[in-house]
Amino acid sequence: MARHRFQGDLKTFHAHGVYGMAVVTALTAQNTRGVTGVFDVPAPFVAKQIEAVISDMPVGAAKTGMLSNADTADAVASVLRRQRVPFLIVDPVMVATSGDALLRDDAVEVLVGRLFPLATLVTPNLPEAERLTEMKILSPADMRRAATRLRERGVRAVLVKGGHLPGDQVIDLLYAEGAFHEFSDRRIKTEHTHGTGCALSAGIAAQLARGADLMEAVGRARAFVRRGLERAVVLGRGHNPINHLAAGG
């Protein structure tokens, strides 16, 4: 699992009853108010970590998160092309909840061209989907167009997360096997949303590893995130994290 803030992912895996292993791609100096520094792990060492895990452990599913730069994205793609995993969730982490950039421009094309074709599911939020499709997304209809455009770029299935749209309902759109599926819930009014995207993609990966189909995995992961939002932990003075442990499996 290529992630920089892997503790949230590991908590999510534990809550869903699977054993998670982390590959560190970058170290961040951050708190609830923002990211003050990023230290990239050298790409060859990222690849070596993935190879060490896959060569020894039965991997039921994997997910990627912050890949930071083109070399890291390319290294992850190269290993996963050689050593396929049953399910791969690509979370195109581009911007932190605080607004700080986490993916450099040179990495976007590598992400799209090399990792997306390997993915079972790609999970962009609206700003990420806008950057990937070069279109403005202002409505659920735009979300459908964006999902279609991403499918044309080699994505097998895409979950466009609609939390950034205004309104009392939050709509996430799954586009898989040529069909659209909407997941809609009442908006939970909170600023403590740090880690929602990571928890969602980790939850989907965990559920797929446990044998759920894609629709079931997305639904269960969304329910997990909602429980975590309702019981968010207020620790710092910015965007606090969801409560992975209180959310249950």
Other residues' Cβ atoms within 10 Å of the Cβ of residue 127: 13
Q: Are 28 and 4 in contact (CB under 8 A)?
A: yes
User: Catalytic annotation on 161?
Assistant: yes
User: Catalytic annotation on 17?
Assistant: no
User: Catalytic annotation on 64?
Assistant: no
User: Catalytic annotation on 11?
Assistant: no
Amino acid at 213: D
- Rounded CA-CA distance 218/10 in Å is 18
Q: Which of 65, 162, 195, 228 does the annotation list as catalytic?
A: 195
Q: Which of 193, 203, 219, 228 does the annotation list as catalytic?
A: 193
User: Catalytic annotation on 12?
Assistant: no
Least Cα distance to 103 among 2, 16, 31, 183 occurs for 2
Q: Which of 20, 65, 123, 161 does the annotation list as catalytic?
A: 161
User: Catalytic annotation on 32?
Assistant: no
Q: Which of 197, 203, 219, 228 does the annotation list as catalytic?
A: 197
Name the β-bridge partners of 182. Answer: 173
Q: Which of 196, 203, 219, 228 does the annotation list as catalytic?
A: 196
Q: Return the structure tokens found at 140.
A: 């659920």
Q: Which of 12, 133, 198, 203 does the annotation list as catalytic?
A: 198
3-state helix, strand, coil in the chain (%, to 5): 40, 20, 35
Positions annotated as catalytic residues are 161, 193, 195-198
